[in-house]
Amino acid sequence: MTDSFFHPVSGFDVPRFAGVPTFMRLPHLSLDDPRLKDVQVGLIGTPWDSGTTNRPGPRHGPRQLRDMSTMIRAQNGATGVRPFEMVNCADLGDVGPNPADLHDSMDRITQFYDQVVAADVIPLTGGGDHLCSLPILRALGKNDPLGMIHFDSHTDLFKDYFGGTQYTHGTPFRRAIEEGLLDPKRVVQIGIRGTTYDSEDRDFADAVGVRVIAIEEFHARGPEDVMAEAREIAGSQPTYVSYDIDFVDPAFAPGTGTPEVGGPNSFQALQVARLLKGVNIVGADLVEVSPPFDQSGATAFLGVSIMFEILCNLALALGEHSE
């Protein structure tokens, strides 16, 4: 049983529209709080989108994700998992970016996550654009390369943009592989689709051994079969999960900067996260929620619902490890 201090505020005690919004109504702790040593999973915001190359807005994502997460309750309705009774969770706040300096912002993110890793806390992140994943991986994968299960409509494996710019939300995993943070043979990308400029990113994936599952294959095989392969590719070794909300069809998740039609529905979006059960997840992110393109908040609510599914799998894994 977890420490009751780390239990969320119940909607039966304080209405969901009241109080200061934190991720899933959890207690907020700073990294210098002495209770950090008791935290097992830390929910973190990275409100930064300086890697965006077209429609900006994900810098506002963490705030709306927190607001919509007040609707998350104590128990998973499908699996019965009650994660907050299994692991100590807390909202560790936001990494403060420097919106005027891309590299300084990435350094700030890595330094923040270095402290999280040193405290033996598993980070579950709400972004931010997808470039946020690179500085997070610099903290998590600096000693040994990680595997990765990546849900997206884009590979984010491009060499560069605009004739030489190497750091955008379309390049983080090319850089991560080049820096030795990811083992490409333990990386699987699911849901890839849309029009393209060329095949440079897919050619790189083929050359280094990244498994790319295009949306046509996903729909033909179904989530269960695809996720069985993803779990096999990840194996039992440490694995990062990166979930771009534009994996989901824009009919269900319009609030994102680079939508692509033909994707999964919202049920399948939750299903693939649920089917991560058994993966050795050492960190995860949900990125590219852009509130300016979805004033209803439905995209952010789907995003935090996906984060909750990932959290349930973390709770199951940590609970088994502690037995």
Q: What is the pLDDT of residue 3?
A: 84
Q: Is 183 annotated as a binding-site member?
A: no
- Give dist(CA 38, CA 120) in Å, integer: 9
pLDDT at residue number 239: 98
Asked whether the beta carbons of 66 and 124 are under 8 A apart, the reply is no
Amino acid 1: pLDDT: 66
Interval 290-322: pLDDT, tens: 999 998 999 999 999 999 999 999 999 998 755
pLDDT of residue 295: 87
Closest CA to 242 of 319, 175, 305, 155: 155
Q: Which domains are delineated in the chain?
A: 4-321 (3.40.800.10)
Pick out the chain residues at pLDDT < 50: 323
CA angle (72, 78, 81) in 5-degree steps: 70
Distance between CA atoms of residues 216 and 127, nearest Å: 27
The tens digit of pLDDT for each residue in 88-113 reads 999 999 999 999 999 999 999 999 99
154 annotated as belonging to a binding site for a ligand: yes
Residue 322: the pLDDT is 53
C-alpha count within 13 angstroms, C-beta hemisphere, residue 63: 10
Q: What is the pTM of this model?
A: 0.97
152 is in an annotated binding site: yes
